Structure formats: structure tokens, C-alpha cells
Amino acid sequence: MSFKSTAAEAAANPLVPHTAELIVGAIAFTLLFLVLRSKVVPMFEKAFAARTEAIQGGIEKAEQAQRDAATALSQYTAQLADARGEAQSIREEARVQGAAIIEDLRTKAQEEAARITASAHASIEAERQQAITSLRNEVGTLATELASKIVGEALDDQVRQSRIVDRFLEDLEKSK
């Protein structure tokens, strides 16, 4: 407690600031401010943000996962329904096609049958005509021979001969 010059003058009033202290105080405080602002505050804020993120992010992730699961489920359900619908339509189509094929075949078979029947009829008719013709000729010859034998008269004249046969046959048909 025995400082001579400085103590005597400054001790008089403790409210009078010292220039050196003002300067050092301002610089020291500013330095500390710059250090804390650039190095410490951002890091603590980062830690706080990361912590908030970790908590909120966890909740959000869980919610997101739930939403994803629900979406996937509805997708699968929709796909399943689609597949079922498709299978149904394929079956339906196959049934329709099958029916069409059967119908087609049946039609073709009937046509074939009709055609065969028709050609059979035609050939029968043709053969009948042929038979009739040949029969007629044969019958004519036979009858002529027979008649000539019976009548004793040669019927050489072709025209007359055939007229006689025709008349005979007409008589024959009428008598039937």
C-alpha cells in the first residue's frame, strides 16, 4: 500500500477510468467476441441443430417408413386386384374364343356335311339319270326286239321305232 505516484492520483477517485485499461478492455472483449462468435457459437448451434434433427428426424423417419409401407401395401393390393382382373378377363376371353372356335368348327362341319350330302344327292341323281337313260335305252331295245319278235314286223325305221318306244314308255309311266 505504498505506491507513490500512480496510487496517489488515481486513489482519489475510483470512478476515473484508466486509458490503458479502456484500451485493453475493449480489445480483449472484442477478441473474445470474435473468437466465440466464429468458433464456439456456430459449433454449439450445430450440436443443438443436430440434436433436434436426431430427435425430429427419428420421428419423421418412422412416419416416412410408415407412409412408405402403407403406399407399398396399397400398391400391392392394387396390383393384386389388377392381376385378378386380368386373369378374369383372360379366362373370359379364352371362353369366348373357345366358344367361337367350337361354333366355327360346327359351322364348318355342317357346311361340309351339307356339301357332302349335296354332292351325294347330285351323284345319285346323275346316276339315276344315267340309269334311267341306259334303262330306257335298254328297255327300248328289249321292247323293240320283243315287239318285233311279237309283231314280226321289222321296225327298221328309226324314227318310227323311237316313237313307238316313247309311247310305250309313256303308257308305262301312266300305268304306274
Partner 1 sequence: MRSFLLTGSGGGFVPPSTADFNLPPIFGHNVYTTKPIALVVLSVILVSVFFIAASRKAAVVPSKLQFAGESIYAFVRNDLARDVIGHEFMRFVPYLFTLFTFILTNNIFGIVPLLQFPAMSHVSFPYVLAIFTFVIFHAVAIRKKGLMPYLKEIMFMPGVPKPVYILLTPIELATFFVVRPLTLSLRLFANMFAGHLLLLVFILGGDHLLKGVVGLKLISPFAFTFGIGLTFFEFMVQCLQAYIFTLLTALYIAGALADEH
Contact 30, 22 (CB under 8 A): no
Judged by CB, which is closer to partner 1: 44, or 76?
44
Query: 496510487: which residue's cell?
Result: 7
To partner 1, the closest distance from the beta carbon of 63 in angstroms equals: 20
Query: 309311266: which residue's cell?
Result: 173
To partner 1, the closest distance from the beta carbon of 45 in angstroms equals: 8
Judged by CB, which is closer to partner 1: 5, or 175?
5
Calculate Rg over the CA atoms of the chain.
65
Judged by CB, which is closer to partner 1: 37, or 67?
37
To partner 1, the closest distance from the beta carbon of 13 in angstroms equals: 8
Binding-site size, partner 1 (CB under 8 A): 37
**155 Cβ contact partners less than 8 Å away, ≥ 6 residues apart:** 144, 147, 148, 161, 164
CB atoms inside a 10 Å sphere around CB 161: 18
Residues 13-72 that bind partner 1 (CB under 8 A): 14-22, 24-26, 28-29, 31-33, 35-37, 39-41, 43-44, 46-48, 50-51, 54
CB crowding 67-100: b at 16 or more within 10 Å, else e: eeeeeeeeeeeeeeeeeeeeeeeeeeeeeeeeee
Binding track over 151-170 against partner 1, x by CB under 8 A = --------------------
Q: Is 3 in the site for partner 1 (CB under 8 A)?
A: yes
Where does this chain bind partner 1 (CB under 8 A)? 1, 3, 6-7, 10-11, 14-22, 24-26, 28-29, 31-33, 35-37, 39-41, 43-44, 46-48, 50-51, 54
